[in-house]
Each structure stands twice: as structure tokens, then as C-alpha cells.
Amino acid sequence: MSTGELLSIEPLELKFPFELKKQISCSLQLSNKTDSYVAFKVKTTNPKKYCVRPNTGIVLPRSTCDVIVTMQAQKEAPPDMQCKDKFLLQSIKTNDGATMKDITPQVFNKEAGHEVEECKLRVLYVSPPHPPSQVPEGSEEGSSPRVSATENGNVNGFEFSNAAKAFTELEPQERSAEARSLILKLTEEKNKAIQHSNRLRQELELLKRQGNKSRGGVSILFVIVIGLIGLLLGYLMKKS
């Protein structure tokens, strides 16, 4: 934190979690330590690379102001992740009740005899935070470690290993589902065959019973006919 007479600045180093092709922002907090209005202006050695909002403003007495510094998306990483860019924050007391219309570039002109307080800020690139690794369910002790994610947007080994595991587990599940389906189908066909066999057996028994009755009926009728013929012959023989 800067210990200037007018403003306290936190932090004094602008730390950007560097990632290729991605805008990255960090913030500054300016605290007015006086009972006066304090005007400020933020400059940088590389204005095309950074966007500062607000880059000029007024901090009311005993109050704070947040400044957002946004780095434009970068196509290449700097050598050794070192950044030579710098920022300069200028501050000066201004009239009470001053507005943004009163803050002109001449206000921060030291050559005009204005008492301008200056603070230099460094720029640092830091590694982006990585989410904590999660152990997938069902992992066994002693298994080979997962491949860690590589830097600069290359293949994420953790995601690849999860996808490979999901793929390898999917095939047995499909085979198991097919086996269950086949078993159910065979069971249904077996039950239908048993029912059909039982019906055939019942129909066969019924036919057998009907055949026995038919044979029994013919025998009785035959005996009756023979008996009648015998009586008729006997009667004719008596008359003669």
C-alpha cells in the first residue's frame, strides 16, 4: 500500500492472471486520506494494451474510489512471463466541489508549479488459478496418476482421462443391457412354449377321452343289434 500524503493506493502491483486470447482485469482502490477533494489521473507506458476506467477522477474527502485496469487479449505470451509495462498514478488537491469539467491535463502539469503526487505501479503476470482436482468415484488405490493439465491451452489430461474412463465403462454397460434384454426375451419365449405345450397336452387328453367314449358306444350298439337279430331269428324259427 502506498503511503502518500493524499491517496492510499492498494495494491502497488497490478497482477494479471495471464491467459492467451482472453481479456483480464484487476482493480485498484484509491483512498483519500485528507479532508479535501483529490483529483487523480492514471497513465501507462502501453496505452494500446490497457484500458483504465476511470483513468481520471475525483476522490471525495475520506472516501474511496475503485479503478479497473483491463488488459486486452494477448496472442502471444511474453518471454519468461516478464512484463515491462508500468503505470503512473498522479494525484493533486483540487477545489472543494470540483467536478470532472475542472480536471484538465494542465491540472497535473508539474512544470506549472502544481504540487502533484506520483506513484509508480508495476505489472506482474501470474499463473491463472486452477480448480482443485477431483478424484472420480470408483477410483482404486494404487492406480496410475492422472495426466495433469498442460499449460497454454494444450490438451487437458484430466478431462481426457475422464472421457476415456467414461468410454471404457460405457461398453460393458451396453453389453449388460443387451444381455438382460436377451434373457428377458428368451424367458418370454420359454413361457410361451410351455403354455403352448400344456394346451397341446390338454387337447390330446380330450381327444383320447372322446375316442374312448366313441369306441364304447359302438360296442354297446353292436351288442344291442346282435341281440335284436337273435330275437327276430328265434321268433321266426318258432313260427315255422
* pTM, to two decimals: 0.53
Q: Cα–Cα distance between 160 and 181 in angstroms, integer?
A: 32
Single-letter residue type at 159:
E
Q: What is the pLDDT of residue 164?
A: 52
- CA distances, 60 to each of 34, 43, 65, 174 (Å): 9, 21, 9, 69
Higher pLDDT, 223 or 117: 117
Q: Cα–Cα distance between 186 and 122 in angstroms, integer?
A: 76
Q: Rounded mean pLDDT of 122-130?
A: 88
Q: Cα–Cα distance between 56 and 102 in angstroms, integer?
A: 11
CA torsion angle 192 197 200 201 (round to 10)? -140
- CA 40 distance to own-chain centroid: 44
Single-letter residue type at 179:
A
Single-letter residue type at 147:
V
3-class DSSP state of 42: strand
Q: What is the pLDDT of residue 167?
A: 47
Q: Decide if pLDDT at 11 tops 90.
A: yes
Q: Decide if pLDDT at 43 tops 60.
A: yes
The region, left, alpha or beta by phi > 0 then psi within -120 to 50, assigned to residue 8 is beta
Q: What is the pLDDT of residues 161-204, one digit of tens each?
A: 555 555 455 455 555 666 777 787 777 777 777 877 777 877 77
Helices (H) and strands (E) in the chain, counts: 1, 9
Q: What is the pLDDT of residue 214?
A: 60
What own/partner pairs with CB < 8 Å and gap ≥ 24 does 153-158 have?
153/20, 158/133
